[in-house]
Amino acid sequence: MPNRYAVILAAGQGTRMKSKLYKVLHPVCGKPMVEHVVDQVEKLNVQEMVTIIGHGAEMVQGQLGGRSHYALQEQQLGTAHAVMQAAGMLEGKEGVTIVVCGDTPLIKAETMESLFKHHEELKAKATILTARIDDPAGYGRIIRNEKGLVEKIVEHKDASEDERKVNEINTGTYCFDNAALFEALKNVSNDNVQGEYYLPDVIEILKKQGEIVTAFQTNTIEETLGVNDRVALSEAERIMRTRLNEAHMRNGVTIIDPSNTYIGTDVEIGQDTVLYPGTILTGKTIIGAECHIGPNTEIDTCEIGDETVIRQSAAFKSSIGSHVNIGPFAHIRPESNIDDDVKIGNFVEIKKAVFGKGSKASHLSYIGDAEVGSDVNIGCGSITVNYDGKNKFLTKIEDGVFIGCNSNLVAPVTIGKGAYVAAGSTITKDVPGEALSIARAKQVNKENYVAKLNLKK
């Protein structure tokens, strides 16, 4: 097998996106487009991968880190000019170079592998990955001669009326003989409607030199989508979402309504878990087996055990054990650590809190900056008073504590093991273990007092 190299084009601004964010950094199912491309290219075992960066160079490089080499294209003079920037690293080397656009997030490694094979078998100097699509507007068209052999690629903006009728398009992915590519690039001119140096012009240059130039047509046309605007971005999102959802379903996850379930690329889900409509799972979320998630539930970067139920709730950057019951309408904020068999009921907010095994906060509570032991019962409406306007303080509730309804625990404060806090208490001092603490005004009943007030008409 010849040496393989890859060039990823990612320097453009992406004017048609109308965005502050550089085009290739726009996420598809939570991951920047260019990273999807790099994920796939990595599977091809290339000797060197060079990403061409320009607009947002630092951000793109920051995103991809050490996974690629980089070449800076200071001015975006076109795709041929972009590839030329990799000359310092690749020029003259023997082997085959695949060029991929950073804005084709759906391209798969298998398709690129087939392209390589086709290229190598035909001993071609250039092979274009092409597709036949219903609406080719905007794409470069593959122009073939009367024998059906590829002659050149014509950009949409430069194409004649007849050429525009061609529905075989350039997907923007190609294999080139590396040495021939860098030689041919020197002859590309910018004499076209956009005044740019077009990479596709290399095809005509090589062809005119009598070299073998071929096309490899893929049937999986959805892979070839180039994202130039937000309409295409949503199309890419829809296709990627279908792909991810289908993979999870094949792995044993039930998704009641896949068209209304959103799973990020890095999410893992165990067997027999059921996702109800309106579930959004993002970041590095890992969900165990036999869980029920949703409807209308958002979970970002959480690790969740088995047989846990989360209904109509939101959870972020936290860990949640097995057999936990959350919601409806609960909010688990970052850095919470919820152990097995816990119940977090309706209108309960947990923030940066440890919640021990078997503990319950069933209704209307705020538990923030807290360490809650195991088998604790937090009564309806009880809260930790963790903030004095400037600093946050810790509330410790030890194992087996019972907090009566509507209690305020003013931090810093510790409720000792097995203690009992009477309903309606405002606790400002530590409560020793096994003690009963009552911190509320004594009730006074004044007999027949209503008549004395003489308020009744």
Q: Which residues would be at the binding site for ligand UD1 (CB under 6 A)?
A: 9-12, 23-24, 52, 73, 76-79, 81-82, 101-104, 139-140, 153, 155, 169-172, 198-200, 226, 228
Residue 228 or 260: which CB sits closer to Ca ion? 228
386-391 CB contacts, 8 Å cutoff, 24+ apart: 386/411
Using CA atoms, how far residue 96 sits from 1, 3, 116, 117, 171, in Å, is 10, 6, 8, 11, 18
Among the listed ranges 16-24, 95-103, 155-163, 399-407, the one in contact with Ca ion (CB under 5 A) is 95-103
* Minimum distance, C-beta of residue 406 to Ca ion, in the bound complex (Å): 59
For Ca ion, which stretch binds (CB under 5 A), given 76-84, 222-230, 250-258, 365-373?
222-230
**Phi, then psi, of 51 in degrees rounded to 5:** -105, 130
Q: Residue 262: which of ligand UD1, Ca ion, none does it interact with, CB under 5 to 8 A by kind? A: none
Q: How many residues bind Ca ion (CB under 5 A)?
A: 3
- Contact in structure between 381 and 374 (CB atoms under 8 Å): no
- 140: Cβ–Cβ under 8 A, 6 or more apart, which residues? 153, 154, 155, 156, 169, 170, 172, 198, 200
Check: CB of residue 166 under 8 Å from CB of residue 106. no
Q: In this complex, which beta carbon is closest to ligand UD1, that of residue 200 or of residue 321?
A: 200
Least Cβ distance, residue 232 to ligand UD1 (angstroms)? 9
Compare residues 180 and 263 and give the one whose CB is closer to ligand UD1. Answer: 180
Judge contact between 315 and 329, C-beta under 8 A. Answer: no
Reference 80, options 160, 24, 151, 155; nearest CA is: 155
Q: CB under 5 A: which stretch of 30-38, 130-138, 224-232, 326-334 binds Ca ion?
A: 224-232
Q: 94: how many CB neighbours lie within 10 A of its CB?
A: 9
Question: Shortest gap between Cβ of 75 and Ca ion (angstroms)?
Answer: 18
Question: In this chain, which stretch among 31-39, 101-109, 151-159, 343-351 interacts with Ca ion, using CB under 5 A?
Answer: 101-109
From the list Ca ion, ligand UD1, none, which binds 201 (C-beta under 5 to 8 Å, kind-based)?
none
Q: Which of residues 103-132 bind Ca ion (CB under 5 A)?
A: 103
Does residue 403 contact residue 409 with C-beta atoms inside 8 Å? yes
Q: Closer to ligand UD1 at the Cβ: 180 or 188?
A: 188
The region that residue 398 occupies, defined by phi over 0 for left and psi between -120 and 50 for alpha, beta otherwise, is beta
Residue with tokens 């000797």: 47
Considering the complex, what minimum distance in angstroms separates the CB of residue 60 from ligand UD1? 9
**Is 363 among the residues known to form the active site?**
yes
Q: Which of 226, 327, 345, 358 binds Ca ion (CB under 5 A)?
A: 226
Q: Whose Cβ is closer to ligand UD1: residue 37's or residue 293's? A: 37
Q: Using omega within 30 degrees of 0 as the cis cutoff, is the peptide bond preceding 295 cis?
A: yes
Q: What does the alpha-carbon distance between residue 259 and residue 242 come to, in Å, rounded to a whole number? A: 8
CB of 14 to ligand UD1, least distance (A): 7
- What does residue 12 show for φ and ψ, rounded to 5 degrees? -70, 155
Residue whose CB is less far from Ca ion, 172 or 321? 172
Chosen from ligand UD1, Ca ion, none, partner binding at 73 (C-beta under 5 to 8 Å by type): ligand UD1
CB of 103 to Ca ion, least distance (A): 5
Q: Catalytic one among 69, 292, 323, 363?
A: 363
DSSP single-letter state for residue 446: -
Using CB under 5 A, list all residues that contact Ca ion: 103, 226, 228
Catalytic residue IDs: 363
